Structure 1
Amino acid sequence: MLTTTQDKFEDFEIEKTIGLVRGNTIRTKNIGYDLVASLRTIVGGEIPEYTKMMNESREEAFKRMIQEAQMLGADAVVGLRFGTSSVLPGSAEFLCYGTAVTLKK
């Protein structure tokens, strides 16, 4: 499945616009991560536990968007975007969305 943040591909023409596709996941913080993160704030620097959790969340949302596009018969997703929002204290939604299309050379 081809994806791009642009609205087209250089080597392909959009044959048909299928429509909006999206994937999301909601994640909560982990007590273990919070303890380690609290200690890291004393000395500063990256908090790799949270970086890992954020990357995994984005990947899961992306994967779910791709699955939806495939179910609709798309070849690609254009206009790909990511978003986040707070749902509850200590939790966040990760959203990936774009426009599913079919392509021709």
Structure 2
Amino acid sequence: MSLPSLADFPAILLPLITRARQTWRTALTELSADALASFEAWPEARRTAFDRVCAASDFVAEQICRDPQMFLHLAGSGELERSFSVGELRGQIADALSSAVTED
């Protein structure tokens, strides 16, 4: 069974997408020229998914701009597009928390 095609962005969301992309590009530019080039090389499907998520969630847009290197790593490793097996993400979180010394 295939999923239906996604609808075009409603006009009301376009300013949110523009703002998210501008903020993201600024964060990448401050990181490095290579970081911005990495984003520019993303396939169109990934950039469209980025727009959809950022238009729907200010939280996501803010968090990826706080740590653009982490987000680029997730994109480069394939973690953004793959499905996780049952309990896999829980295990990764548990591993990360076990090595944490402080709540920061």
| Structure with more strand by fraction | 1
TM-score of the aligned structures, taking structure 2 as reference length: 0.31
Structure with higher Rg: it is 1
* More relative contact order, 1 or 2 (CA 8 Å, 6+ apart): 1
Query: TM-score, normalised to structure 1's length?
Result: 0.31
Which has the larger share of helix? Answer: 2
